[in-house]
Structure 1
Amino acid sequence: MLHLLGETQAKAVFAHYMVGSQDQDHAQQDIDNAMTVGLDGFALNIGDPTASYVPTTLEYLYDYAYDKDFKLFFSMDLSAETAACTAGCASGTACCSGPSDYMSLLQLYLGNEAYYLGPNGLPMISTYSSGGFSNETFSTWKTSLDSQMYFIPMFDDTDGYYAQASGWWSYWGSVVDALFSWEAAWPAVGDGSSSDVGSVSPDMPVIEGAADHGKGYMIALSSLQYKDAYGANLYRPGGLNLPIRMNNILGIASQLDFVEIITWNDGPESHYIGDVWAEASDTSIEYCEPGAAFPHTAWQPLVTSFINAYKAGSSMSPPSGATAVGALWYKTILQDASCSGATKPDGWSTGTDSLTWAIVLASGSSGMTVVLTSNGAVISTVGVNAGLNFGSPTGVQAGAQMLQLLTSAGTVVMTATGGECVSSGCPAGIYNMNYQVLGLSSGGGSASCSS
């Protein structure tokens, strides 16, 4: 039996964390930063459990989290694991054991004080995909661990999952303790209609099916998905996906057990909210080498406001005493850009030349206005109120971009500008859909950008 020392928390919020060859100081900084944001822990994505860097990075993370109010649990990336081991043997998936390949790591860490415990008081284990393995494979694996776990896999690659077919529950019901849906975090590729951006409609049948069977649910929260990596080149609309989904999740918070933010540090997918370290990421990918040119940390204050509201069952608000928190984000090439020799990502046509923003104002705020300026021209002026406000006006021109928050008297109190200029060309040589994310600073100032 496992020696269980960890803790479980209601309404916990995690971030998906890619385990790479992180330096020790960077691994520790990730935990410190995540705690500042208000996260309860990391879901540790491990694609190849035999990779030489995995034991070292896990030791850095678990040792540092050991005496902190921050927990870690494994997310077995069975999709990547299957691809890795299949590539090394001619017999295909017969050489892969799926979850059993993680046994040595699980046995080493499941009893660690920094390991997160699920609502049943047992170690929480998740997955990325089913890896194509059968219910028997998972049942055998669970038995080998005396079923001493809270198993919350991401099985939305299995037939009938989103339809919540009765056959799905007959096949998988005895295997799972809860469910986690990854693909529901964004609209489908090529679908940028306003009704789909940020929607929780795909989650609802799964939430209801899980509840009907006495199972829990973890919902995904993300900004966008853009990648020209991992063998794919695609874009799934970002823009307002993050703030709209925040609003929608808060509307169903009572039906949820956990939230998982996708992701803390997956640079090639573009949906990171933390640092992307050079030693742990694919720095050959131009649009995030290694993320310094496209930092997304300015989203973190919005995430903190969301976490606080989710746990309190309230609306979003800035920290006590603060006027506002928020960010401005935009892609740095225009929709009519031409990138010689490059291929447009699937879903490119759903992109827009927009300045997307979200601002959370304190209770009692009134008469304030947000002004959006592109290359010196005002493209939007809108009144904002207490709580979460957002918008995504079009009309972006090449050059510097700026957001200003004004009082009812017209005084500029906060500004977001700087970062990379929007280009009418193609400076990275690819159809880059990653976002430049700019945080709010106190006071006014002129629009600026760097080429």
Structure 2
Amino acid sequence: MMVKSFLLAALSAVTTLVQGHPSQERSLTERASTDRLVFAHFMIGITSDRTSSADYDADMQRAKSYGIDAFALNIGVDPYTDQQLGFAYASAANNDMKVFISFDFNWWHTSQATAIGQKIAQYASLPAQLKVDDKVFVSSFAGDGVDIAAMRSAAGTELFFAPNFHPSYGTDLSNVDGLLNWMAWPNNGNNKAPDATGNVTVEQGDQQYVSALAGKAYIAPASPWFSTHFGPEVSYSKNWVFPSDLLWYNRWQELLTLGPRFIEIVTWNDYGESHYIGPLDSPHTDDGASKWVNDMPHDGWLDLAKPFIAAFKAGATTVDSYITSDELIYWYRPTPKDVNCDATDTCMDPNASNSSGNYFIGRPNGYQTMEDSVFVVSLFTAAAEITVTSGGNSQTFQASAGANAFQVPMGVGTQTFSVTRNGATVFQGTSLKQIIDGCVCGLYNFNAYGSSPCFL
């Protein structure tokens, strides 16, 4: 059999091959209102450089091709918000996608219920507006305590309101139609990585929400990663990680078992927190995240999600029969976690703003919970043997047909991957990103580098 070798530079061609397989054929408007839906959280706040609806087309088309039904458009109160919402709604309509507004209460206030309702009314009648059970769908980031009755009155139309309220706060949930759980990562119960004070799994968070909702719609979160490293260069300094490692793969397995009505991917384009699954060339302004995002694609995570999304929508509890092509997906951090970058890192300044309590000096809070490993997921139509070489560490795995996950201890140097089937090498490739025993641009960079080589 001829060997096919792919480098990351050829990623776009690989993606085209994968996308050529049949996916979701029906348009969203043709699906019953009780069907399961998948959303992706989309940050409008970093899109001020987009000048027309066409600037959103590639995002809409790409998301749709992977089975994502709607973007949750996260908005603050920026002066360009309405212009960008107009572009996004128009692009969604042109590309048979849906969108809905997610009010970010980092910027909105719970006292603004009437203004929020009026903002909903501005866009409620547009063709791309997502409706669920014939009601205008609306969500939020935080917002516990907003006057829902006043908001509904100001909107002047029936709403399906599924905000990111928190059952643990004792918030009145009688007037919501569902809830979004944002906490997509293992945590300590206080918005940080698990530690001696607590260890809350994402599944435990699911159960808390499902119990509180008592049959109402649950928007379950799915996120591949979390790392943020803003220092004094911004007013919202924050520096922590959640343990992510194989979270993306494991979470999709959990979601097929859980079977919620909705899933929201966190996120499409939040580069600042490193959980983007959209492409790096999606137009956006730089809020300082480029220091750890440049040359760090996450394309493979979307490839990994595609068969799981199809399985979820079909009501399946396993993904295997929805894998229609052979793919090997990998990711890893660019340095071991114990490298010392104190002399040059931007988060060494003790005078950075810490009004949120999220700023920590030096390495990000929670860094110890990350594993120094190279992570590999196989999506195979037939069994094969995988060999991963990370620096001086090399391991071989037997991968069955279906989805499988493996990890190899991180080794400094070149990262190579090969697949053998029936005694013949059917894929071999070398990543363009080496793991270094040093500091990337002088920083502690806990973002992941990932791509999706493919063999057919």
Task: Please classify the TM superposition score into its range, dividing by the shorter chain length.
Answer: 0.7 to 0.9
- Check whether the contact 2:41–2:267 (CA below 8 A) recurs between aligned residues: yes
Partner of 1:78: 105
- The answer to whether the aligner puts 1:190 opposite 2:209 as a matched pair is no
Spell out, residue by residue over 1:302-326, the C-alpha distance to the aligned partner (whole angstroms, 9 max, x if none). Answer: 111110010112322487752x124
Partner of 1:350: 369
Moved more, 244-253 or 57-66: 57-66
Displacement of 1:113: 1.3
Displacement of 1:292: 4.4
Q: Which runs of 5+ in 2 are unaligned?
A: 1-28, 231-235, 346-361
- Check whether the contact 2:121–2:157 (CA below 8 A) recurs between aligned residues: no
Partner of 2:300: 298
TM score, norm. by length of structure 2: 0.80
Aligned structure 1 segments of 4 or more residues deviating by more than 6 angstroms: 195-198
1:295 & 1:283 partners in 2: Cα distance?
17
Spell out, residue by residue over 1:211-236, the C-alpha distance to the aligned partner (whole angstroms, 9 max, x if none). Answer: x2x41101000111100134210010
Supply the AA of the counterpart residue of 1:21. Answer: S
Partner of 1:101: 115
Displacement of 1:415: 3.8
Displacement of 1:192: 8.1
SS state at 1:150 partner: strand
Structure with the larger RCO, 1 or 2 (CA within 8 Å, 6+ apart) = 2
Partner of 1:312: 314
- Check whether the contact 2:388–2:418 (CA below 8 A) recurs between aligned residues: yes
- The answer to whether the aligner puts 1:280 opposite 2:284 as a matched pair is yes
- The answer to whether the aligner puts 1:66 opposite 2:93 as a matched pair is yes
- Check whether the contact 1:198–1:243 (CA below 8 A) recurs between aligned residues: no
Partner of 1:90: none
- Compared CA separation, residues 420 and 99, structure 1 to 2 (3 A): farther
- Check whether the contact 1:76–1:127 (CA below 8 A) recurs between aligned residues: yes
Supply the AA of the counterpart residue of 1:242. Answer: W
1:307 & 1:261 partners in 2: Cα distance?
11
Partner of 2:172: 172
Mapping 1:35-434, distance limit 5 Å: 35-48=64-77, 51-82=78-109, 97-118=111-132, 120-130=133-143, 134=145, 137-146=147-156, 148-156=158-166, 160-161=168-169, 168=170, 171-188=171-188, 189-191=192-194, 199-210=202-213, 212=214, 214-229=215-230, 230-253=236-259, 256-277=260-281, 280-288=284-292, 291-314=293-316, 315-317=318-320, 322=325, 324-341=326-343, 342=345, 343-362=362-381, 365-366=382-383, 368-378=384-394, 380-394=395-409, 396-409=410-423, 411-434=424-447
- Compared CA separation, residues 134 and 209, structure 1 to 2 (3 A): closer
- Compared CA separation, residues 208 and 103, structure 1 to 2 (3 A): closer
1:374 & 1:32 partners in 2: Cα distance?
35
- Compared CA separation, residues 176 and 63, structure 1 to 2 (3 A): same
- Check whether the contact 1:354–1:392 (CA below 8 A) recurs between aligned residues: yes
- Compared CA separation, residues 276 and 226, structure 1 to 2 (3 A): same
Supply the AA of the counterpart residue of 2:106. Answer: S
- Compared CA separation, residues 282 and 197, structure 1 to 2 (3 A): farther
- The answer to whether the aligner puts 1:27 opposite 2:56 as a matched pair is yes
Displacement of 1:68: 3.5
Spell out, residue by residue over 1:97-143, the C-alpha distance to the aligned partner (whole angstroms, 9 max, x if none). Answer: 3343334432221111110012x21011000001xx525x2322223
1:437 & 1:299 partners in 2: Cα distance?
8
- Compared CA separation, residues 278 and 244, structure 1 to 2 (3 A): closer
1:197 & 1:355 partners in 2: Cα distance?
25
- Compared CA separation, residues 22 and 416, structure 1 to 2 (3 A): farther
Spell out, residue by residue over 1:224-262, the C-alpha distance to the aligned partner (whole angstroms, 9 max, x if none). Answer: 110013421001011110001110111111xx1100000
Q: Which runs of 5+ in 1 are unaligned?
A: 83-95, 162-167, 444-451
Displacement of 1:370: 1.6
Q: Alignment length, in residue pairs?
A: 396
Spell out, residue by residue over 1:56-82, the C-alpha distance to the aligned partner (whole angstroms, 9 max, x if none). Answer: 211221112214431000100012334
- Percent identity reads 26
For the aligned residue pairs, the C-alpha RMSD in angstroms reads 2.6
- Check whether the contact 1:415–1:441 (CA below 8 A) recurs between aligned residues: no
